[in-house]
Structure 1
Amino acid sequence: MSPIGMRPTGMPARGTAVSPEDPIALYAPRLFRAFGWYLRWFFWRNFHAVRIARDGGLTVAADRPLIIYSNHPSWWDPALFMLLASTIVADRRGFGPMEAEALARYKLFRRLGVYGIDTASRQGAVRFMVTSLRILSQPGTALWITSEGRFTDCRTRPTRLRPGLAHLARRVPGAMIVPLAIEYTFWNERKPEALLRFGSPIEADGGRSLDIAGWNALLEQRLSETMDDLAGSAISRDPGRFRRLLSGRAGVGGVYDVGRRMAALAHLRRARLAHESDEDP
């Protein structure tokens, strides 16, 4: 029996050969840790900072199945998921679905917990459900889902989610389902900010109270509310509303920054390349 309370339909019995497409079998912890360090550098190089809203953190009991679902504003989202999974959710193995055609271009991701699905076919929907249930039946895992299913501007309303997550919520009693709002925006530096906010967890009840339509409406509502709260903080341009997960590069770059560094050195002080003070602890 799994910690969820039952072995999901389609989950291999003991002694059954594991498919070469099985994300649990393919997952390589050491490779994931190494890739996490690479992502720290990659985000440092491309962003001014990665920030999480102070009043929108993530707290979930370690013994509960965890599903984190988000909006999907950018190509950066899967990399951001992996960064979060290697930092603030490092006590769980992270997994997530990706369009099979896209995953074929990033085959390394198969070793990092990503599994391919065909979103246009019934077979793909079944694979998503069976694979996701099998992952969540394992202790110490987390499922990360870009639930809009396609790139969508973070200001688009109403928020529309694909129904797979609602079906999953009805099948995993006891799971904590957490909305995650993501926004990439420019403030006062050459590099953009990656802004995040976690919403309040929704507790799955195994379908005892809501049908699929009801679950989908609830999930859309909670994600929209979390996105609206994040938008308000982003508009304020106040770094004090966020805690900084990762600091990136500041300054203009090139000859201009070299000149400022030399001037600071001449006065025996540290060069300040940021345009404005950013003192959030």
Structure 2
Amino acid sequence: MPARSLAAAAEDPIALYAPRLFRAFGWYLRWFFWRNFHAVRIARDGCLPVTTDRPLIIYANHPSWWDPALFMLLASTIVHDRRGFGPMEAEALGRYKLFRRLGVYGIDTATRQGAARFMDTSLRILAQPGTALWITSEGRFTDGRVRPTRLRPGLAHLARRVPDAVIVPLAIEYTFWNERKPEALLRFGSPIEAEAGRSRDIAAWNALLEQRLTETMDGLANSAISRDPSRFQRLLSGRAGVGGVYDVGRRLAALAHFRHAQLAHEPGRETRR
């Protein structure tokens, strides 16, 4: 094989994708989020991505380092019927080389060549049946309260090239409620038909994507402010309690009285309606 072909194969996320490794990493992420979060929750008033044979693009705000891991957790649970792929800054991907085997591909957004690679690679992925593209479309870490929401135009350009795609906005927040560990909160917005963007110029299409993501983020913020778990579906339960010696003492005390140790700050709150 020519050297150029070998180099291309080494960078091709479709060729590099390892399904068994991704499944194993998905189980690792379940443990990882259990260890670091009180819960991962999905807003009940949102719209979960529907199962469809059409190309699927899920685009989100970008509040934290956790976002790519959260994408992979979602791809291994609620969107497990599709192979998930997503772009990452090439410099950052260099620090997490395992991600190359998990559907992540590097891009350089500061150059025309990088923008062209994003477009070419994303189009090839979406042309494959049973795939989904996950994108942090703000392109940089941004607090979820910043308004107006600003997206890079690459998503709008991509959507116009895939008119049969379904595009789903996803809002993400990480916040503390009543436990020591934080909550990871999510809300999926109403799907957008890419066909609707064909009659718009790029600026108008990008404005529509920004508007729909902002609406999804505002809806999540309203639910997050309520601090009411009943407004969310629990995707994953994490750890409760203070931790360390204090929780060991409470477990031993409960065991001595033949009862279950209640480590949560507000036992029973999860089941209230």
Regarding TM over 0.5, the answer is yes
Give, in angstroms, the shift of residue 105 of structure 1.
0.5
Give the conservation status (yes or no) of the 8 Å contact 1:243–1:280. no
1:275 counterpart residue number: 265
1:189 aligns with 2:153: no
2:167 counterpart residue number: 177
1:63 aligns with 2:88: no
1:244 aligns with 2:256: no
CA distance in 1, matches of 2:159, 2:171: 19
Q: Which amino acid aligns with 2:222?
A: G
Q: Which amino acid aligns with 2:165?
A: A
Aligned residue for 1:81, secondary structure, equals helix
Give the conservation status (yes or no) of the 8 Å contact 1:174–1:206. no
Select 1:73's aligned residue among 63, 67, 71: 63
Structure 1 stretches of 4+ with a deviation exceeding 6 A read: none
Distance 1:178 1:261, change over 3 A: same
CA distance in 2, matches of 1:231, 1:278: 20
Aligned residue for 2:132, secondary structure, equals strand
Give the conservation status (yes or no) of the 8 Å contact 1:73–1:154. yes
Select 1:139's aligned residue among 129, 140, 157: 129
Give, in angstroms, the shift of residue 75 of structure 1.
0.1
CA distance in 1, matches of 2:265, 2:45: 26
CA distance in 1, matches of 2:164, 2:148: 28
Give the conservation status (yes or no) of the 8 Å contact 2:163–2:198. no
Q: Which amino acid aligns with 2:212?
A: R
Give the conservation status (yes or no) of the 8 Å contact 1:242–1:280. no
Per mean C-alpha deviation after superposition, the further-off stretch among 202-211 and 162-171 is 202-211
Give, in angstroms, the shift of residue 24 of structure 1.
0.2
Structure 1 gaps of 5+ residues are: 1-15
CA distance in 1, matches of 2:161, 2:201: 11
Give, in angstroms, the shift of residue 267 of structure 1.
1.4
CA distance in 1, matches of 2:269, 2:41: 12
Over residues 158-199 of structure 1, what are the superposed CA-to-partner deviations in whole Å (9 max), with x where a residue is unaligned? 000000000011000110000000000000000000000000
Q: Give the TM-score, by structure 2 length.
A: 0.95
CA distance in 2, matches of 1:278, 1:144: 33
Aligned residue for 1:19, secondary structure, equals helix
CA distance in 1, matches of 2:219, 2:92: 31
Aligned residue for 2:10, secondary structure, equals coil
The sequence identity of aligned pairs, in percent, is 86
Give the conservation status (yes or no) of the 8 Å contact 2:49–2:188. no
Give the conservation status (yes or no) of the 8 Å contact 1:169–1:206. no
Over residues 175-231 of structure 1, what are the superposed CA-to-partner deviations in whole Å (9 max), with x where a residue is unaligned? 000000000000000000000000000000174311100110000000000000000
1:234 aligns with 2:228: no
2:256 counterpart residue number: 266
CA distance in 2, matches of 1:63, 1:108: 29
1:27 aligns with 2:21: no
CA distance in 1, matches of 2:203, 2:15: 34
2:98 counterpart residue number: 108
CA distance in 1, matches of 2:47, 2:183: 18
1:161 counterpart residue number: 151
